[in-house]
Amino acid sequence: MNKYSSAAIISLSLVSGSSIAALAPETGFSGEVNLLAGYYRDTNNFSTNHSAYQQDITSKAESSDEANNEVDGDGIAGLLGNVDYTFGSKLNHQLFLGTSREEIATGSLAFELGYRYQFKDGTTVAFSTLPTLVSTEVWADPYAINENRKKTDLSGNAGRIKVDHLMGSAFGVDFGFGVAEVDEDNSGEDAQTEIIATDGEVLTAEEAELLQRDRKYASMKVDYLYFLPNKMGAVRPSFTYAKSDADGEALSYDSYKAEISYAKVIGHHSYAVTLDARKRDYDAVNPLYDVTREDKQYGLFFAYEYAEIFGAKDWGLVTLMGANKIDSNINYYDSDFLFVSVGANYKF
């Protein structure tokens, strides 16, 4: 089985329509594993890593710092990677699971399981499910005050259809869709018996229903890959529209996201940096604050790899860093997230 160098994998993930290649050099298994250890800082009133007790719902969360040295710890996944199985006489069929190098390089760390097919003109279509994207723990009533909030499970299903090198071009289209359900959703229950709303009144049952979190969602992303002249690297701008239709109209929204990624390989060094900005417009007045929520979100992600470290052909040094900030017109929804990780990468 051929061993991929860092540069080869980056090049395959950013291949242009004028340079169509098979999905892999030969039939069989290939992939990589990233073992990471990291540190993160999180400020988010909805995170179950924070204290279950809160005194009010009017201020931004306090930060929570945690060093993460476990493979499957919270916040930062300590184990990333992917396994592909390529087959077919033209090497145009592929089964895959894990998180691809391209997704890691842009900060999209969701686990995928799916199938990919490449057409004669170079178009590739991938169908996948993302079983870990939705499932997590949440507060049953995140707005409860002067008591310990109880945890419950958020579960659901998410799917994806991703088209790259559309008709041999540098365009790509990415469709996402899914559903999410909170097992025990008591959002606003405390506010029906205790005055916590900013208007000084308890919520009615009808108002509390506006905060229900079960939802359906869909998104569409369009991107374009451009290679800079004189081997200066590759740039991929994109735009994403997403619609979240929650049972609670105050939590339903339309989202607009612009993103740009830059990648470059210099010898053993591979770099990728991604910047994004997003705006969410919610559908109805939030009954707790008597205003309609609006969020602005900004993100930065950086990935670096030094291939063949200490002369080991299949091993590399990997560093991932990311930051994310949500600035809402309602202070309680403001959040910040920062993480840094370092580790080893093994290719097979």
Residue 301 has pLDDT above 50, yes or no: yes
State the pLDDT at residue 136.
Answer: 87
Residue 278 has pLDDT above 90, yes or no: yes
State the pLDDT at residue 220.
Answer: 98
Residues 70-100 pLDDT 10s: 333 354 656 788 999 999 999 999 999 998 7
Sign of CA dihedral 43, 46, 52, 56: positive
CA–CA distance, 49 with 58 (Å, rounded to integer)? 19
Residues 211-260 pLDDT 10s: 999 999 999 999 999 999 988 999 999 999 999 999 999 999 999 999 99
Which tokens is 160 given? Answer: 């994806």
Residue 179 has pLDDT above 90, yes or no: yes
What beta strand segments (E) does the chain contain? 28-43, 64-68, 79-87, 93-98, 112-118, 124-129, 136-139, 151-164, 171-182, 215-224, 226-227, 234-246, 253-266, 269-286, 291-307, 315-328, 335-347
CA–CA distance, 258 with 14 (Å, rounded to integer)? 19
Which tokens is 101 given? Answer: 């190098």
Contacts of 329 (CB under 8 A, 6+ apart): 291, 293, 294, 295
Parallel, antiparallel or unpaired: strands 253-266 and 171-182: unpaired
Which percentage of the chain shows pLDDT scores above 90? 67
Residue 336 has pLDDT above 90, yes or no: yes
Residue 126 has pLDDT above 60, yes or no: yes
Higher pLDDT, 185 or 14: 185
State the pLDDT at residue 107.
Answer: 63
3-state secondary structure of 311: helix
Higher pLDDT, 58 or 102: 58
CA–CA distance, 308 with 23 (Å, rounded to integer)? 23
Q: What is the pTM of this model?
A: 0.87
Residues 8-66 pLDDT 10s: 333 334 433 334 578 999 999 999 998 888 888 888 999 888 889 998 898 888 765 44
As a whole number of Å, the CA-based R_g of the chain is: 22
CA–CA distance, 36 with 317 (Å, rounded to integer)? 10
Name the DSSP class of 202. P
Nearest residue to 180 via CA among 209, 141, 215: 215
Which tokens is 182 given? Answer: 């909170």
User: Nearest 5°: CA angle at 311, between 307 and 316?
Assistant: 25
Q: Is residue 76 left, alpha or beta, with left meaning phi > 0 and alpha meaning psi from -120 to 50? A: beta
